[in-house]
Structure 1
Amino acid sequence: MKMTERAQQLVRTRTPFVHATVVRAQQPTSAHPGDEAILLQDGTIEGFVGGQCAQNSVRKAALGALQSHESVLLRVLPDGDLQFPEAPGAAVVVNPCLSGGALEIFLEPQFPAPLVRICGATPIADALAEMCELVGFGVRRSVAGDDSLDSLADTTAMVIASHGGPEAEMIRAALDAGVGYIGLVASRIRGASILDELGLTDAERARVRTPAGLPIGAKTSAEIAVSIVAQVIQAIRKGGLAVTPRSANVVVEALDPVCGMSVTVGPDTPRLTIDDVDHWFCSSGCRTSFAAAKTGS
């Protein structure tokens, strides 16, 4: 599968990843300008951006890019030559096991668009769905009585615009799922009454916006939709609302016992188990050296 097709597949499944592209390569590195790879949250590398030693440095930088949500121009060097323009978004890694040459690799993290769950089949809900799609948000619709609220883990924002029905139950489900933005389309008095019946803590009550939307004097369904989308954007851009949940995968690092390099443990990281103890390596060469020393061969 081509990298573009794989990237599109990951976008469709709302899977965060890093797209790595070799922009410059100095011989005798095995990578060439234009080589590409996709790196997933568990450390998996699909594609080619250099040998095993280089891949370990790229993997570590990519995982950092997923955490910071920032692109990185990474230069991988085999020695202490650190002559590289210092600039925001640039980083230098000295890789002790690199056989020679140098690599410059652009790492671009890709994240799913904010996902807004809209509950209700009202004119405001319809207008909100259209407005969310216009600004590039993902949209999922839910109506009373369906079971779509069973999974809210990937939801950035949930807006209840049903004007009745199990609104309290929907709010409770969103709170329990840790949804960052919860909006209830209701008058100030009716919204307060619904929250009162839930018996929320002060912290939980503060997480529910009702009336939903910024106070811009909106009257029509379209205007109310604009105010709600604006409030979600404000929460993301200025309030620190997480667009996607943090990775549940725990990134593990180990020390290569041969070269002393810090190794990010992934599915394809070289490993050797001796006496029920796992040893991790930056490359198969270090693994072979370690095995030979242990066996005396």
Structure 2
Amino acid sequence: MIPAHRIEELRAAREAFVVATVVRAAKPTSVRPGDSALVFSDGTIEGFVGGVCAQESVRLQAARALETGEATLLRLLPGLAISERDPLDGVVVSHNPCLSGGALEIFLDPQPVAPRIAIVGDTPIARALTAIARAAEYDVGMVPEAGDAALVVASHGEAEEDALAVALRLNVPYVALVASPKRGRAVRESVDDELRARIHTPAGLDIGARTPADIAISILAELIAQRTAPPVDAPIESATDPICGMEVLASEQTVHLDTADGRVYFCCEGCRSAYVH
């Protein structure tokens, strides 16, 4: 059982993680239903949900669950190495040649960090956006920080350029300025050429908004549309163990060997040793 205070510590630190819980164990296995662990985005595991080979499957599928935000039931079965989607939504079946002969079902519950939005200004639009963003379970701040999902400047001319410049340097994905088209163009001109195209101004989707609340809704809608667009980032990187054929997470936490031809990943030290010798 994972202590509740540990979960609260991670949430306070704004660290994403996956709770992995064994829900079924068919002997011979080294775990029991109810055993659990925390799995982090870098592949680190706190707790115990199986031996090294089971852990590698958990590592990989937990990383994918964090990426999608969707809970997954991972079925680990003995047999030739293969991973496949079960016809049932949310179920992944992984046949693992390294298992001791038993079978496991592990529920992976992703706990992503609440997206943070920095809202600059003390205006009716800024106040409305703060209230709506909090209702949508965003973490709201007043100063842009690394890792933010968005910056919205709604200060009516106060400290606009400085806030925009900081957010752009931090590569905040969504940067918006609440301003008239004329003033928006003027502020954009004060920003480096390569960065100004990233500033959304006028801010928000064109839904005919007039009131502060409606404008705030249009801004949040534009942010949501950008956040839910198909990802352009590379998918979770995996590798195939050259000895047993198992798919593993390509991370520092996974057993690996650096060779002249590049890094080779393994499910366990046994496969690494077999590869070397």
* TM-score grouping bracket, smaller chain normalisation: 0.7 to 0.9
Which consecutive unaligned segments of at least 5 residues does structure 2 have? none
Match of 1:97 in 2: 98
Q: Shift in Å at residue 100 of structure 1?
A: 1.4
Q: Note if contact 1:255-1:262 (Cα within 8 Å) is conserved in structure 2.
A: yes
SS in 1 for 2:162: helix
Q: Which amino acid aligns with 2:203?
A: A
Q: Shift in Å at residue 240 of structure 1?
A: 4.5
Match of 1:21 in 2: 21
Match of 2:171 in 1: 178
Q: Which amino acid aligns with 2:98?
A: C
Match of 1:131 in 2: 132
Q: Within 5 Å, give how 1:1-297 maps onto structure 2.
A: 2-80=2-80, 85-142=86-143, 149=144, 152-198=145-191, 200-201=193-194, 204-237=195-228, 239-240=229-230, 253=239, 255=241, 259=244, 261-264=246-249, 282-283=267-268
**Any idea what the Cα deviations from partners look like across 1:37-84, whole Å, max 9, x if unmatched?**
111112111112112221122112222333344332211112259999
Q: Which amino acid aligns with 2:30?
A: S
Which deviates further from its counterpart, 63-72 or 79-88? 79-88
Q: Note if contact 1:256-1:282 (Cα within 8 Å) is conserved in structure 2.
A: no
* Equivalent residue pairs, number: 274
Which consecutive unaligned segments of at least 5 residues does structure 1 have? 143-148
Q: Shift in Å at residue 127 of structure 1?
A: 2.3
Please give the alpha-carbon distance, in whole angstroms, between the structure 2 residues aligned to 1:133 and 1:20: 28
Q: Note if contact 1:30-1:51 (Cα within 8 Å) is conserved in structure 2.
A: yes
| Cα distance change on mapping 1:216 and 1:94 into 2, 3 Å | closer
Q: Note if contact 2:238-2:247 (Cα within 8 Å) is conserved in structure 1.
A: no
**Any idea what the Cα deviations from partners look like across 1:195-227, whole Å, max 9, x if unmatched?**
1233534xx444222121233343433333222
**Root mean square deviation, CA, Å:** 3.6
Please give the alpha-carbon distance, in whole angstroms, between the structure 1 residues aligned to 2:187 and 2:257: 59
Q: Shift in Å at residue 109 of structure 1?
A: 2.2
Q: Shift in Å at residue 153 of structure 1?
A: 2.0
Q: Note if contact 1:75-1:91 (Cα within 8 Å) is conserved in structure 2.
A: yes
| Cα distance change on mapping 1:101 and 1:171 into 2, 3 Å | same
| Cα distance change on mapping 1:199 and 1:43 into 2, 3 Å | closer
Q: Note if contact 1:256-1:262 (Cα within 8 Å) is conserved in structure 2.
A: no
| Cα distance change on mapping 1:270 and 1:181 into 2, 3 Å | closer
Q: Which amino acid aligns with 2:202?
A: P
Which deviates further from its counterpart, 19-28 or 73-82? 73-82
Please give the alpha-carbon distance, in whole angstroms, between the structure 2 residues aligned to 1:66 and 1:11: 15
SS in 1 for 2:119: strand
Q: Note if contact 1:42-1:251 (Cα within 8 Å) is conserved in structure 2.
A: no
Which deviates further from its counterpart, 121-130 or 159-168? 121-130
Q: Note if contact 1:23-1:105 (Cα within 8 Å) is conserved in structure 2.
A: yes
- Greater Rg over alpha carbons, structure: 1
Q: Shift in Å at residue 235 of structure 1?
A: 2.4
Identity %: 44
| Cα distance change on mapping 1:230 and 1:282 into 2, 3 Å | closer
Please give the alpha-carbon distance, in whole angstroms, between the structure 2 residues aligned to 1:129 and 1:90: 37
Q: Note if contact 1:25-1:32 (Cα within 8 Å) is conserved in structure 2.
A: yes
| Cα distance change on mapping 1:88 and 1:264 into 2, 3 Å | same
